[in-house]
């Protein structure tokens, strides 16, 4: 009976410790997410005239591109972050999702604010330009990816979700590059760098499978 009681106590303590560890992990992640969103907000509003919504829209565009780089970096299966932080690719996935949702959110707000500014100045015809039309396509592709991450859809149709994810990502990289094609704006340089990261990761994955 004593052994049985000790075994039961050990089981309860083990279960309690596991729950505490999970709670601590969730708390740590929540704090990390709050800090991340705070940084996004600070970078959006620092050194900018918020009364000029065109400037705000431009800044949100830059924030979106920065988040795009981050979410791709966190999605790399062969990421240097894993050995540096002792976190596996799977454990970094929640951070990738948060960065992705943030990128989608800032991109949508970027578009809304720009459309509002153009509407006020009677310049909505600018949407007819190839660069801005490409930006709109990129935005819609991001929203499609966002909806595809709904748990029911992702788990029930994972193969389709995965292919859709890749196709939409490639479309986003192309159209974001077309949205700001001039090297003087530096946006296209960041897009090329991000695309190279993704392609290199795919090459390494394929090489590991073949070897």
Distance CA 96, CA 98 (A): 6
Closest CA to 108 of 162, 51, 67, 153: 67
For the CA atoms of 205, 81, 150, 173, the dihedral, rounded to the nearest 10 degrees, stands at -70
CB burial readout 8-45, b (16+ within 10 A) else e: eeeeeeeeeeeeeeeeeeeeeeeeeeeebeeebeeebe
What does the alpha-carbon distance between residue 86 and residue 103 come to, in Å, rounded to a whole number? 26
Structure tokens at 173: 């990289």
Tens-of-pLDDT digits for all 211 residues of the chain? Answer: 444 544 554 454 455 444 434 444 567 778 888 899 999 999 999 999 888 999 999 999 999 999 999 999 888 877 665 554 445 556 677 888 899 999 999 999 999 999 999 998 888 888 889 999 999 999 999 999 999 988 888 888 889 999 999 999 999 999 999 999 988 888 899 999 999 999 998 888 888 888 7
* Residue 39 pLDDT: 92
Cα–Cα separations (whole angstroms), residue 169 to 56, 79, 211: 25, 18, 27
């Amino acid at each position: 009976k004593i052994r049985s009681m000790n075994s039961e106590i050990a089981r309860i303590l083990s279960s309690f410790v596991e729950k505490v560890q999970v709670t601590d992990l969730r708390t740590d992640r929540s704090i990390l997410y709050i800090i991340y969103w705070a940084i996004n907000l600070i970078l959006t509003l620092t050194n900018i005239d918020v009364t000029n919504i065109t400037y705000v829209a431009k800044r949100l565009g830059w924030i979106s591109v920065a988040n795009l780089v981050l979410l791709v970096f966190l999605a790399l299966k062969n990421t240097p972050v894993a050995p540096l932080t002792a976190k596996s690719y799977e454990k970094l996935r929640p951070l990738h999702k948060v960065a992705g949702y943030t990128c989608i959110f800032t991109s949508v707000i970027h578009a809304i604010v720009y459309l509002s500014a153009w509407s006020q100045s009677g310049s909505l015809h600018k949407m007819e330009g190839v660069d801005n039309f490409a930006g709109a396509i990129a935005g819609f592709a991001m929203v499609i990816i966002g909806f595809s991450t709904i748990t029911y859809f992702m788990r029930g149709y994972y193969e389709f979700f995965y292919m859709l994810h890749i196709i939409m990502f490639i479309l986003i990289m192309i159209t974001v590059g077309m949205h700001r094609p001039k090297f003087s704006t530096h946006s296209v340089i960041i897009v090329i760098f991000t695309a190279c990261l993704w392609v290199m990761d795919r090459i390494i994955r394929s090489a590991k499978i073949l070897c």
